[in-house]
Structure 1
Amino acid sequence: IRLTGFLGSRERAELLASTSFGIHARPAEAFGIAVAEMAGAGCLPFVPNLGGPAEIVSDPDLRYRDESDAVEKIVALLGSPELQRSKRESLAIAMERFRPERFVESLLDEIGHFLEPAVPSERRNQLPEIAPPSR
């Protein structure tokens, strides 16, 4: 186990690329971007069973109630490479919603909906011209 503290983006990417598992020990964190980054990089994150990390990682085998529960779940997963592979595949699918590209797509969709005129297209040519304000 290695406690890293703050890492720059390059260092973080290198660490996550060389890591198979992660333990997120902060209880009741609101979102847990570190958990999303670990899972997105293919690590299996073990997270407390509450707060944002528990919403990100829905698999009960990766969520723990206390230290002894965490140890039990980690040991069980370490003993099964096939289960690790299966959980990585499931987690990769679930993490699609946190990809930066997905965020940008969603944001652009919302902006598009906001900018769409409230008037149906067949009535747009019936609207009066609005003159710009005079100065």
Structure 2
Amino acid sequence: METAQLVATLKEKGYRVTPQRLEVINIVLEKLAKKEHPSFNDILNEVKQKMPSISVSTVYSILKLLEETGVVVSFEHNGRTYYDSVTPHVNVVCVNSNKILDLDGGEVVEALKRAGVYPTSILVKGICREV
């Protein structure tokens, strides 16, 4: 999703697009475009570099809004919250290295859809060979 499209969607739903919201949106969309899985702290630290006075609760509420509007999904691993795109795929968390890999998940996603489940996030934890 493009920033302009997301801004229009938020406005249609009655949300104000504040500079803080716009900054968090830009950071999140940029990281997701690069197939990254930013943690809450990653996003907070990057926003604070540009907006030092922004509060933790403001960033949290913006990310919650993005999740509620279907822009991102979140998952937890080792006490950290990560954000990801809503495009159905499999996230593999390598427990030995804490890396997160994206897999297409075609057959898994299709099997779930046949069962009437339309996944937005699939999380698999495993021991990965070093990649």
* Interval containing the TM-score (normalised by the shorter chain): under 0.3
Structure (1/2) with the larger strand percentage: 2
Structure (1/2) with the larger helix percentage: 1
TM-score by length of 1: 0.27
TM-score by length of 2: 0.27
Name which one, 1 or 2, has greater alpha-carbon Rg: 1
